[in-house]
């Protein structure tokens, strides 16, 4: 049985709860994150190597030392969801892509709605940069952490 552990870390956007298991990050959620699992029951150990590495990676990102959150992560999801999430990690910091562009990137140009649904289920906010995906007209849409956070993250990455 896999034991999930958690740690709350401070960020400029409010507390972020990190969830780890089996030596890898499994989730990163803001307090008001949509589709946030029940986290209060998870163990919060004083020491956990995966959480230590993840906390350091997020700190580097938020301080501007890293363009991305370089963290070993295992996001539980379907094969399709993981394919979409991997495509998100290829979007350079500070740049954006539309949902249709992500769908085309994974070879499924007619799957825009399915791509949007997969992005909405991303359990690794910021580490898997779903904030870099925008609407067809370039508008900021659909971020589980809230549009104001999405706006802040893009501005942060653009310097």
Residues that are catalytic: 130
- Using the 8-state DSSP alphabet, how is residue 133 labeled? E
Give the number of C-alpha atoms closer than 13 A to the C-alpha of residue 94, restricted to the C-beta side: 9
Return d(Cα 144, Cα 122) in angstroms, integer: 9
């Amino acid at each position: 049985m896999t034991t999930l552990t958690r740690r709350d870390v401070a960020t400029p956007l409010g507390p972020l709860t990190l969830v780890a298991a089996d030596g890898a990050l499994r989730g990163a959620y803001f307090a008001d994150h949509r589709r946030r699992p029940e986290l209060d029951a998870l163990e919060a150990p004083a020491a956990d190597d995966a959480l230590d590495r993840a906390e350091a990676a997020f700190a580097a990102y938020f301080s501007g030392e890293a363009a991305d959150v370089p963290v070993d992560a295992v996001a539980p999801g379907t094969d399709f969801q993981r394919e979409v999430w991997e495509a998100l990690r290829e979007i350079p910091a500070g740049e954006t892509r539309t949902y249709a562009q992500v769908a085309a990137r994974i070879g499924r140009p007619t799957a825009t709605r399915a791509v949007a649904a997969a992005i909405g289920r991303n359990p690794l906010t910021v580490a898997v940069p779903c904030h870099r995906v925008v609407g067809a007209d370039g508008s900021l849409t659909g971020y589980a952490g809230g549009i104001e956070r999405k706006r802040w993250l893009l501005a942060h990455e653009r310097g």
